[in-house]
């Protein structure tokens, strides 16, 4: 870190000189800085523009704040409806840099732009009966609101409070029967509602355990329409004669089902996998943990026979006791 003093004469001109001296920073040029900039000037055919430059603001009192623009997308207007876009990705080279590793780093930095997630919606699925209160309904609303805020989805007025949410569903329900309700929230705030026949677990519930071979990153913690991996695994399970698939990881730790949470019972206590294994905090799971009925614990495939009973469960069907299971 360096500290220096400067006597200001021509405020604006001096500020420009300060910025010229400070930027670009070494992390975006490489070092030694002067020689690195000479090499950049020789190799790069055109100016970088704002990329690796400075973006900031100056207050009327003379205070200012600037930062370095990295991974910056710039649009240039070509016509009324057409824009030309450009994004800068790179790395600062030093004396011991490895060219292959630096290139891999550039690809990693660009991944957010080259491999974006598709357009998706948030999902909540719950049972609703005009004649009976659902104690889990408020947990569905809480999860939906938290996920909407996390992803920046517009939250319509009917979802902004639990009271509004409950009234909205009550007005939309077709008749006075118990339904499975599927709510989709679009990023722009649009809501799609489906009222489906209520379903229970099969009495002879069969489950197959499969290794999870996909990674959805932070989406594992949110219920969204990015579900093709889950749906494909469930389809395979049903083709094999099973009702549900439960995933496990490379260490043999049990994770979650395609549309359910996994529970194992021992000494009258339920145990369920912890959230840090990248699983959804299912509403039924959250409710049972809050009530002290279930505890978090890593459960390994090799330990399954040590438990008295195993279950899969979700907020619509409740807990379903597994009568038969198989490991793939």
**Band (146; pLDDT cuts 50, 70, 90):** very high
pTM for the model: 0.75
Count: domains in the chain: 3
Same domain, 191 and 211: no
d(CA 314, CA 257): 10
| pLDDT at 56 > cutoff 80 | yes
What is the layout of strands, in order, in the sheet containing 244-248? 254-257, 244-248, 206-211, 324-327
- Residue-number span of the structural domain to which 317 is assigned: 206-327
Q: What does the pLDDT average to over 235-251?
A: 98
Of residues 26, 8, 5, 27, the one with CA closest to residue 17? 8
Same domain, 95 and 182: no
Domain boundary among 134, 169, 197: 197
Of residues 302, 220, 233, 293, the one with CA closest to residue 263? 293
Same domain, 74 and 171: no
d(CA 9, CA 265): 77
Same domain, 233 and 323: yes
| pLDDT at 4 > cutoff 70 | no
Q: Does residue 5 fall inside a structural domain?
A: no
| pLDDT at 1 > cutoff 70 | no
| Rounded CA Rg of the chain | 28
Same domain, 184 and 217: no
Q: Does residue 52 fall inside a structural domain?
A: yes
Strand partners, 181: 126, 195
pLDDT tens readout for residues 267-307: 999 999 999 999 999 999 999 999 999 999 999 999 999 99
Q: Does residue 167 fall inside a structural domain?
A: yes
Same domain, 110 and 126: no
Q: Does residue 1 fall inside a structural domain?
A: no
Same domain, 136 and 104: no
Same domain, 168 and 275: no
Instruction: Let me know: does 266 contact 308? Beta carbons within 8 Å.
Output: yes
The answer to whether the bond into 287 is cis (omega within 30° of 0) is: no
């Amino acid at each position: 870190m360096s500290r220096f003093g400067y006597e200001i004469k021509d405020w604006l001109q001096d500020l420009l000189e300060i910025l010229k001296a400070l930027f670009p920073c070494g992390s975006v040029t490489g070092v030694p800085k002067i020689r690195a900039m000479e090499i950049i000037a020789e190799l790069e055919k055109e100016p970088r523009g704002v990329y690796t430059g400075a973006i900031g603001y100056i207050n009327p009192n003379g205070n200012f704040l600037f930062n370095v623009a990295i991974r910056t997308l710039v649009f240039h207007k070509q016509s009324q409806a057409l824009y030309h876009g450009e994004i800068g990705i790179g790395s600062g080279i030093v004396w011991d840099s490895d060219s292959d590793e630096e290139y891999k780093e550039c690809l990693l930095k660009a991944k957010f732009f080259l491999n974006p997630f598709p357009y998706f919606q948030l999902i909540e699925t719950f049972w609703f009966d005009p004649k009976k209160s659902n104690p889990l309904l408020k947990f569905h609303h809480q999860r939906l609101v938290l996920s909407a805020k996390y992803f920046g989805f517009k939250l319509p007025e009917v979802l902004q409070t639990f009271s509004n949410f409950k009234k909205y569903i009550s007005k939309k329900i077709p008749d006075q029967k118990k339904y499975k309700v599927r709510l989709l929230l679009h990023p722009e705030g649009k809501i799609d509602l489906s009222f489906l026949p209520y379903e229970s677990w099969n009495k002879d519930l069969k489950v197959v355990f499969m290794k999870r071979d996909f990674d959805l990153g932070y989406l594992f913690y949110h219920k969204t329409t990015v579900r093709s991996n889950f749906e494909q695994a469930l389809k395979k399970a049903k083709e094999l004669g099973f009702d549900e698939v439960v995933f496990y990881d490379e260490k043999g730790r049990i994770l979650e089902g395609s549309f359910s949470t996994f529970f194992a019972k021992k000494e009258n206590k339920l145990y369920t996998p912890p959230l840090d294994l990248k699983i959804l905090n299912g509403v039924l799971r959250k409710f049972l943990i809050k009530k002290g009925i279930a505890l978090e614990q890593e459960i390994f495939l090799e330990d399954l026979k040590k438990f008295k009973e195993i279950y899969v469960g979700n907020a619509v069907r409740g807990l379903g006791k597994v009568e038969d299971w198989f490991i793939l």
